[in-house]
Amino acid sequence: MNTFTKTAVAIATSLILANTAVAGEKVKVYGKVNATLQSDDTGERETDIKSNASRFGVKGGVKLDGNLSAIYQVEWQVNIADDGEDNIKARSQWVGLKGDFGTVMLGRNDTAMKKSQGKVDLFNDYNADIKNLFSGDNRLDDTLTYISPKKNGFSVRATFIAESGYKSEGENGTSISLMYGDAKLKKSKFYAAVAFDSKVAGSDTTRVTMQGKLGDLKLGAIYNESEYTDGTSDGDGFLVSAAYPVGKATLKAQYQDSDDKKSGDVVSVGVDYKLAKNVKLTGFYTDFSFDDGKEKSHLAVGMEYKF
């Protein structure tokens, strides 16, 4: 039995068990399928069908004594446009406890810094995703995560990464963020966060994030500064974004500048059109201009279905 077959069997078993949960246990099967038809110019132009972090998973929990609950999440990413055997890979997969003290999780998870960006990156999962330019967007194994309860709009998220982790380079790492407001801007009109990484995936990183609403207009900004833990290199960058709804459509624009993971700038414009609460059509154009003179661009139309 090859690796792909074993993975498929494990996933199928998990989904079956999700539908036969014990009494009192809340279980949800969820995911999204996102694909785009793209014209990619990376020196020479080609047409491609791309899967943009399509995923599925199972999450849930059960109440214990008092206000304590046991919770879990097991999620996979699937490349729906790839016929290879390795088109399924692990995403966030953890088990934890939730109570008046907050939430504690053990397993593979997004770091506090990665989560602190909220919804500012309007082209997340696409070619202009900030992970392609900025350090600090990490989902790591061997993590312990703590999320505090909200007090006066403030909350803290902290991640400990064990030295045995795949990207730990033999050192324990920490990621911590202080957040204010609602990242989805539904319960508040303003969101802000500051996050720090120490010895995380080989880098020390600082990130400041802000997003707010002026009427229907959403404006966001991120500043990111990073240095390799061995002191060999450092870089910084910033992102600004804007989104404005017009009927069922949302117009989006974003600009990024960085000399961190790559040196250059990125301009993206796009539109999302809602067909239903969980279904949308999307289109975007992204242009990369690097300081070494190289350029590339992506023109895409596609669809996303959440379930």
Establish if 166 belongs to a structural domain. Answer: yes
For residues 160-188, average pLDDT: 93
Tens of pLDDT along 244-303? 999 999 999 999 999 998 899 999 999 999 999 999 999 999 999 999 889 999 999 999
Establish if 31 belongs to a structural domain. Answer: no
Establish if 272 belongs to a structural domain. Answer: no
As a whole-number percent, the residues of the chain with pLDDT over 90 amount to 82
Residue 117 has pLDDT above 80, yes or no: yes
pTM comes to 0.90
Kindly give, in sequence order, each residue whose CB lies less than 8 Å from that of residue 134, ignoring residues fewer than 6 positions away: 207, 222, 224, 226, 237, 239, 258, 260, 261
Q: What are phi and psi of 9, to 5 degrees?
A: -65, -45
For residues 180-189, average pLDDT: 94
Establish if 249 belongs to a structural domain. Answer: no
Mean pLDDT of the chain: 92
Tens of pLDDT along 35-71? 999 999 988 899 999 999 999 999 999 999 989 999 9
Establish if 98 belongs to a structural domain. Answer: yes
Establish if 33 belongs to a structural domain. Answer: no
* pLDDT given for residue 279 in this prediction: 98
Tens of pLDDT along 78-93? 999 987 767 899 999 9
For residues 126-137, average pLDDT: 95
* pLDDT given for residue 230 in this prediction: 83
Residue in 86, 97, 118, 108 with CA at minimum distance from that of residue 212: 118
* pLDDT given for residue 147 in this prediction: 98
* pLDDT given for residue 10 in this prediction: 55
Amino acid at 78: V
Q: What's the Cα-to-Cα distance from 38 to each of 45, 133, 282, 298, rounded to whole Å? A: 10, 21, 12, 7
Structural domains of the chain, count = 1
Q: Which domain holds residue 165?
A: 53-244
Residue 79's domain is classified under what CATH number?
2.40.160.10
Establish if 302 belongs to a structural domain. Answer: no
End-to-end CA distance of the chain: 30
Establish if 1 belongs to a structural domain. Answer: no
Q: What angle do CA 203, 206, 212 make, to 5 degrees?
A: 140
Give just the sign of the alpha carbon dihedral 283, 207, 132, 82.
negative
* pLDDT given for residue 15 in this prediction: 57
